[in-house]
């Protein structure tokens, strides 16, 4: 994503110089708006959904009047001044790289503070979660196909596998040295910039789908706590980097899973339509209905079923009112790549 930055300074020459430097060095990372008048700058914050606002200390800014998701700092002339009017500062006379780094730190810090359902309710990012109450029905293949399907229609999509033994590289490949373990470290470290890690560690598949390579050891996934998953989703939503986030997760009733469900616009249960698979799905559905009251979150209205590896002769679609997305047959003797390609070709997931 491009961070939207608004700069307010009375010195038009300074604004011209810094705009030129940012355009040369960070044109792929920044979208810059510059102003010499406070009224115009403050109006821009709302209309253009600015992420970071930095203003010269010649102006007195009321931070509580700024948009909730907009980071703020004063531009000062001294490099020794760490804060001004109880707000962070950026020295205006230093290398552009340092100004950019400090600005990104401010943005990330604001993201980490704005966590919760009330914030995310305003987000236009669609979170789709794929899960199964029974194994071997191809929920990961369906999730990967959904991500590719959405990407193919021009929607920037992130596939995020949080299964304990999951491996995104079973479906996607891309250049990169880091993996999701580095994101987990950033989530746990208060000194590490999470936004930078999310941006620098992500890879892109030839299909256009963005993904994170699996941690070097599956034990790293066990370290993720509920509040860290909440922050991860919140940061991804507020950063507005993606149109869609496709989660591929293990099913359980723990708080982390319920948190992902609460943040999801659609929860896709994958079943093969067999008596065993449908039976487990119904038990999971009934239990989630009970948990709705405990967690004060409407879960059942967001649930849909995708029938994978389905046979009209031996399997059946549930008739209890759960929304069906349709189904796909079993593709015998097909590779993972071929199966996913067939699922993408159905076009089912572009209708979610």
Backbone φ and ψ for 283, nearest 5 degrees, come out as: -65, -40
CATH number of the 3-113 domain:
3.40.50.10850
CA distance 253 to 283: 12
Sequential DSSP letters for 26-94? -TTTEEEEEESSHHHHHHHHHHTT-SEEEEETTS---GGGS-TT-EEEEEES-TT--EETTEEEEESSS
Q: What average pLDDT does this structure show over 95-123?
A: 67
CATH architecture for segment(s) 119-351: 3-Layer(aba) Sandwich (3.40)
Backbone φ and ψ for 158, nearest 5 degrees, come out as: -110, 125
If you search the block for the tokens 């792929």, which residue do you land on? 28
Look at residue 119 in the predicted model and tell me its pLDDT. 44
CATH 3.40.50.300 residue ranges for the chain: 119-351
The tens digit of pLDDT for each residue in 168-187 reads 999 999 998 899 999 999 89
CA distance 340 to 207: 12
pLDDT interval class at 116 (50, 70, 90) = very low
Judge whether 190 and 231 are in contact, CB under 8 Å: no
Task: Report the interhelical angle of 226-239 vs 194-201 (nearest 10°).
Answer: 70
Pairing of strands 210-211, 203-204: antiparallel
In this model, does residue 162 exceed pLDDT 60?
yes
The tens digit of pLDDT for each residue in 258-314 reads 999 999 999 999 999 999 999 999 999 999 999 988 888 899 999 999 999 999 999
In this model, does residue 154 exceed pLDDT 80?
yes
Return the DSSP state at 265.
Answer: S
Sequential DSSP letters for 178-220? --HHHHHHHHH-TTS-HHHHHHHH-EE-TTS-EE-PPPSSGGG
The tens digit of pLDDT for each residue in 74-84 reads 999 988 888 99
Cα distances (Å, whole numbers) of residue 222 to 201, 215, 228 = 20, 11, 12
Look at residue 43 in the predicted model and tell me its pLDDT. 93
User: Residue 285's CB: how many other CB atoms inside 10 A?
Assistant: 19
CATH 3.40.50.10850 residue ranges for the chain: 3-113
How much is the mean pLDDT over the chain? 90
């Amino acid at each position: 994503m491009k961070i939207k930055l608004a700069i307010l300074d009375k010195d038009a020459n300074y604004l011209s110089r810094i705009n030129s430097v940012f355009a040369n060095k960070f044109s792929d990372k920044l979208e810059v708006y510059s102003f010499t008048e406070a009224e115009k700058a403050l109006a821009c914050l709302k209309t253009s959904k600015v992420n970071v606002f930095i203003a010269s200390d010649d102006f007195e800014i009321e931070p509580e009047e700024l948009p909730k998701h907009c980071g703020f700092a004063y531009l000062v002339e001294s490099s020794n001044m760490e804060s001004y009017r109880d707000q962070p500062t950026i020295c205006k006379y230093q290398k552009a790289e340092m100004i950019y780094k400090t600005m990104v730190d401010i943005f990330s810090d604001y993201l980490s503070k704005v966590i919760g359902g009330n914030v995310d309710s305003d987000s236009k990012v669609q979170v789709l979660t794929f899960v199964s109450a029974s194994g071997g029905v191809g929920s990961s293949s369906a999730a990967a196909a959904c991500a590719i399907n959405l990407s193919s229609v021009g929607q920037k999509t992130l596939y995020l596998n949080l299964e304990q033994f999951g491996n995104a590289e079973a479906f996607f490949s891309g250049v990169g040295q880091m993996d999701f373990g580095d994101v987990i470290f950033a989530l746990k470290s208060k000194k590490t910039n999470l936004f930078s890690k999310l941006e620098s560690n992500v890879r892109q598949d030839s299909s256009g789908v963005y993904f994170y390579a699996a941690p070097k050891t599956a034990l790293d996934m066990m370290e993720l706590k509920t509040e860290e998953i909440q922050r991860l989703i919140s940061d991804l939503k507020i950063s507005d980097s993606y149109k869609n986030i496709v989660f591929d997760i293990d099913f359980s009733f723990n708080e982390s899973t319920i948190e992902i469900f609460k943040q999801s616009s659609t929860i896709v249960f994958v079943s093969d339509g067999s008596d065993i698979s449908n039976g487990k799905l119904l038990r999971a559905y009934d239990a989630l209905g009970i948990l709705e009251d405990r967690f004060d979150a409407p879960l059942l209205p967001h649930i849909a079923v995708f029938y994978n590896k389905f046979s009209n002769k031996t399997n059946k679609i549930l008739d209890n009112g759960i929304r069906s997305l349709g189904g796909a047959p079993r593709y015998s003797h097909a590779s993972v790549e071929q199966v996913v390609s067939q699922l993408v070709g159905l076009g089912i997931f572009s209708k979610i």
